[in-house]
Amino acid sequence: MTTFDFSDVEAFLDGHPDLFEEYLVRKAKCDQIGRWLKVHQPSKVSGADERRGALRDPLWPSNPDGLRRRSSHMELRRNFARSKATTAHRTYDEHVSLIEHEDQSSMRRRALLRKASSLPPTTAHILSALLESRVNVPQYASSAIDYKYRLKETNEREFFLELVKDISNELDLTNLSYKILINVCILVDADRCSLFLVEGPAHKRTLVSKFFDVHSGTTVRPSSNTLNSNEVQVPWGKGIIGYVAEHGETVNIPNAYEDHRFSDEIDKLTGYKTQSILCMAICNSDGEVIGVVQAINKNPMGTPFTEDDEKVLQMYLPFCGISISNAKLFSESRKEYERSRALLEVVNDLFEEQTDLEKIVRKIMQRALTLLQCERCSVLLLEDIDSPVVKFSKTFELMSPLCNMDRDISSMEKLSCSDWLINNSIAELVASTGLPVNISDVCQDPRFDAEADQASGFHIRSVLCVPIWNRTHQIIGVAQILNRLDRKTFNDADQRLFEAFVIFCGLGINNTMMYNQVKKTWAKQSVALDMLSYHATCSKVEVDRLKAAKIPLSSELGIDEFHFNDFSLDNDAMITASLRMFLELGVVQKFKIDYEVLCRWLLTVRKNYRTVAYHNWRHAFNVSQCMFVMITTASFQDVLSDAEILALMVGCLCHDLDHRGTNNAFQAKTGSALALLYGTSATLEHHHFNHAVMILQSEGHNIFANLCSKEYSNMMQLLKQAILSTDLTLHFERRSKFFECALSGEFSWTDEGHREILRSMLMTACDLGAVTRPWKISKQVAELVTSEFFEQGDRERSELKMTPAAIFDRNRKDELPVLQLEWIDGICKPLYQSLFKLNRKLQPMVDGIDANRRKWQELCSSYQQSRRASESRPSRESPESDLTVQPQDGALESKSSQDVTVGENKTGSAQKK
């Protein structure tokens, strides 16, 4: 048998203080603790404690000289198990506690002042300092449990007063509940005790215990973050506890298993056997039941609770009822303070940020999650507040970081629709009626879509949805929160708070929307002033001269040929050629267009093109000539209506009005006034259309003046479609359907949808028509395109401090032949081949693009051979001058709405925007 010396055991215990503490709690006797206290007096004891010890317990002697033996580190660790008896379990001394409280409060105020002084003097910091609570929950230490046991044996009156005093000044409900349980265990000699408090409205009351089966010898309370996880709920009127709460009667059961109301589920889970039970209701001053206390297994084990136990508990519980009522009242006042503070902080947030809608909505949802302690929050904004049809234009969502989810969801998503917003019908109902909806159990509500709930992967239990109003009391959206974190339902207090919260949010969102409208108005004014400063209408002399001029025939001008020379006519000749096209198409006679108005309109359109390298008046005329020859020579005139022909011709002449020589991506990157006004989708195309409308609405320029209202509306719709279709982003969205219909022979001339796509394809084909011209002309056009692209690339490098894409970078011009081949193969050739399937008379355009492709292939091959040769001669001087493709050979003719090369993304290359 192994033997140990005392020193070995002592060293082991020194190295394992936790084990020693557990052993001491389970095995130590009261007389042993008394002897320990006799030797180890606390170093600091208040006068009240010393007097109490002198009067009540001869085992607690005082030391007149005030000296205490200083324990070594080993002794302190060895005696850790009972160290709290000298501090936490001392009775409360008002004077000492008040001084400590004042010191802590002063230190907190000084810390706040230091914090505020070290930060910028913003309203948020000032508000935070001003709203810091000066009211704190008093912390009253409880007397030692062993001291209460000894007092019970020596002086019952003092013992009872000590228990009453122990709870009378406690305002923290958690601490109070713990003290009540420990005191009841001591009072009736119970082994364990539980406290259930009444929660919920009168029609749906439940009994909730956050301290269940607390052992009489427990000295450490459960931590606050585990209270909710250990929470036990008992339905009203169910079981022994529910019966006592409902009837207010005392239940004293010697053998619990003989009572039909007793459930042995807890015993089976814990392995603890319940024998005797004493259960009694706790009432407030009005006689209403506010809780139930349950004592289990009177000590010594096996003995039942006596009538004396019932009497003494009946005497003590009224004091508990008063203390619980006070603690609840204090807790509610603190909640109201926190809610009021939160609302003030919301107001500060909203008025601090009124320039960005997404930022303000993010702040709103963050505050809502914190204020109402829910798992998810969403804000849905209406597309048109004046429309009777409810349609949401923007949806924002935010998920609480405290919500445990298996899937990763970003903190903020701006979506047109949401994959988890399954109760969209509820949001629409709130938006249409203006009434809040509070659903405690969505599974029982017919408006809830259970299938969508399963598909979303996010389980919704409860929903609170309220409308968002603006300052004129119009509904502008809906705010919605889902699932309280404590798994309870949203109550009336939550709904009132959320509605008050949303009032301020509505004002903030409305102000932000108004700010955005002001910004758009400013941008519109800026663009208008810019246009007016640059453009002007034509003079009367110019109109009279053009009106009197003789208009040559199409054959004389050469505009009836597919291989028209884009540079054969000067500016004035292009005006007369435009007149000839309108006259020859017969639209002047059919739509009764005044000849003088047509002349003035053409001259003004020309004047409203800027003098940029490529996207100028000549380009607009060449696009219209390409449309003219396709309508006449290729016989599209037989299948297109007169209105469509006029809209296409006007669209070609106006499709690049006021072009600045930069594309849509450049407008977005620089945050130009155009981008602010029209957004980042088809920015320039919208501007071209609006500019065309502005010219038409100018006095003496409306070539559609003799159309009836319906015809005018239809004409403007056709014109808008024609101009917007020159955006290649829209082209890529539509071309797959067109290619499929054209190549399969399923294209229907009677289908309006097919005709609209055809018109879009014709506009794109004409806009890219230079790629089908004879090689010398096509090459010259490519030089102009390249020059304009390089100018944009230079601006990107100088103004935006970024490296431009290959087609915009003059330092990479040797790559242009390769890019041009990818452009022809990926975008141009499939379009013309599909149109050729519909109309065989477009053969010259297909032949022209094939011929030009061969020329670009020759340049590409020549460049690659030169590059290989240079790589084989590393010792020679850099052959860069020999390899670089000159602009006339390597110019790229492309059109893009993105700053991306065709090689990188075929959907991004474009000649225009």
Amino acid at 541: V
| pLDDT (0 to 100) of residue 653 | 97
Q: Which tokens belong to 889?
A: 């050979």
| pLDDT (0 to 100) of residue 51 | 38
| pLDDT (0 to 100) of residue 92 | 32
Q: Is the pLDDT of residue 844 over 70?
A: yes
The better pLDDT of the pair 113, 669 is held by 669
The better pLDDT of the pair 775, 873 is held by 775
Those residues whose C-beta lies under 8 Å from the C-beta of residue 620, and which sit 6 or more positions away, are 605, 609, 652, 653, 654, 655, 656, 657
> Residue 131, Cα to own-chain centre: how many angstroms?
28
| pLDDT (0 to 100) of residue 817 | 86
How far apart are alpha carbons 93 and 51 in whole angstroms?
12
The better pLDDT of the pair 844, 129 is held by 844
Q: Which tokens belong to 794?
A: 């230079």
In the chain, % of residues over pLDDT 70: 76
| pLDDT (0 to 100) of residue 372 | 82
How far apart are alpha carbons 358 and 364 in whole angstroms?
10
Antiparallel, parallel or unpaired: β 289-298 and 374-382: unpaired
| Per-residue b or e along 427-456, where b marks 16 or more CB atoms closer than 10 Å to that residue's CB | bbbbbeeeebbbbeebeeeeebbeeebeee
Q: Are 816 and 892 in contact (CB under 8 A)?
A: yes
Cα distances (Å, whole numbers) of residue 86 to 36, 38, 45, 300? 11, 12, 8, 29
In the chain, % of residues over pLDDT 90: 32
Among residues 615, 655, 686, 691, which one is catalytic?
A: 615
Lowest mean pLDDT among 9-13, 274-278, 581-585, 791-795: 9-13
Helices (H), 768-900: 775-799, 816-823, 829-838, 843-871, 880-883, 887-890
Tens-place pLDDT, residues 319-338: 999 999 998 898 888 888 87
Stretch 775-793: mean pLDDT, rounded?
Answer: 92
Strand partners, 397: 378, 413
The better pLDDT of the pair 9, 318 is held by 318
Lowest mean pLDDT among 52-61, 262-271, 294-303, 487-496: 52-61
Lowest mean pLDDT among 101-110, 131-140, 416-425, 569-578: 416-425
| pLDDT (0 to 100) of residue 129 | 56
Instruction: Give me the half-sphere count of Cα atoms (radius 13 Å) on the Cβ side of residue 668.
Output: 12
Assign residue 841 a region (left: φ > 0; alpha: ψ between -120 and 50; beta: otherwise): alpha
Q: Which of 94, 22, 95, 85 is nearest to 59 (CA)?
A: 85
Claim: this prediction has a pTM higher than 0.85: no
Helices (H), 373-491: 424-433, 450-456
Catalytic annotation on 615? yes
Q: Is the pLDDT of residue 214 over 50?
A: yes
Amino acid at 672: S
Lowest mean pLDDT among 143-157, 688-702, 813-827: 143-157
| pLDDT (0 to 100) of residue 85 | 32
Strand partners, 414: 396
The better pLDDT of the pair 878, 869 is held by 869
> Residue 315, Cα to own-chain centre: how many angstroms?
56
| pLDDT (0 to 100) of residue 483 | 87
**3-class SS shares of the chain: helix, strand, coil, % to 5:** 60, 10, 30
How far apart are alpha carbons 308 and 431 in whole angstroms?
63
How far apart are alpha carbons 616 and 574 in whole angstroms?
12
**Residue 854's CB: how many other CB atoms inside 10 A?**
9
Tens-place pLDDT, residues 50-91: 433 433 343 333 343 333 334 444 343 334 333 333 333 333
Arithmetic mean of pLDDT over the chain: 78
